[in-house]
Amino acid sequence: MIHPTAIVHSGAEIGANVAIGPYSLIGDKVTLHDEVEVAGHVVIEGPCVIGRGTQILPFASIGQAPQDLKYRGEETRLEIGERNTIREYVTMNRGTVGGGWITSVGSDNLFMAQSHVAHDCHVGSFNVFANVASLAGHVTVEDHVTLGAYVGVHQFCRVGSYAFIGGFSKIVKDALPYARTDGTEARCFGANSIGLRRKGFSNEAIRRIQQSFRLLLTAGLNTSQALEQIRAEMGGEPEIDYLIGFIEKSERGVTK
């Protein structure tokens, strides 16, 4: 199912039931696993692996060299998981030596038009990147995250699982999991309760998360004091232990 105008390098590996549309270019050391669909006018350069059932729409540019002035042509990689939807004009770059040689994307993500994943980023699964949402280099986005349109995430930041980032936000510190974060000078507005309910969190788990954010944001405590009280009141619950661990591992500080 390869259109006659597509160009597929002899060093590419193509799985079963793969479709490649007109005028697309599949480069050397690209692996397309079974049932990948590549529309017309797509460019994929290697080394790059794209998992089963992923769809890539027109004019996406996947696996190009990193936009890093320190890059010297090393053979770094981009690895993309299964069942992702990569819409028009999306760009995803390979890693760099300084970032561990690899950019990685999990499974079941939606990347809307013109969104960008830069070098050495690590994106989990079940995320939604709205139009033009962009990650600078070395960013980590965990699972079940929603990035609104035109969100920009600074280098080396982390975005925790189940976070909701409002459109046009500028993220320069780690964005807390379970939280609603918004603004050109981003602020945290507490628990993303509606989103958590939609994701199947119990009322009791949501109540614990809400109480944790009250202690973090409105109780007049510094972060260390808030974490101490959260641990004393609710420690041992998996969602609370994850929140505490996320904050304690932060190197850039968290958005409050």
Enzyme catalytic residues? 119-120, 137
Tokens of 11: 């060093």
In eight-state DSSP terms, residue 230 is H
CA angle 104/161/211 to nearest 5° reads 165
Neighbouring CB atoms inside 10 A of 204's CB total 9
Helices (H), 188-235: 193-198, 203-217, 223-234
Neighbouring CB atoms inside 10 A of 61's CB total 18
Q: Taking the C-alpha atoms of 159, 49, 115 and 153 in order, what is their torsion angle to the nearest 10 degrees?
A: 30
> Contact, 121 vs 146, CB < 8 A?
no
Look at residues 37, 30, 80 and name the one whose alpha carbon lies nearest to residue 55. Answer: 37
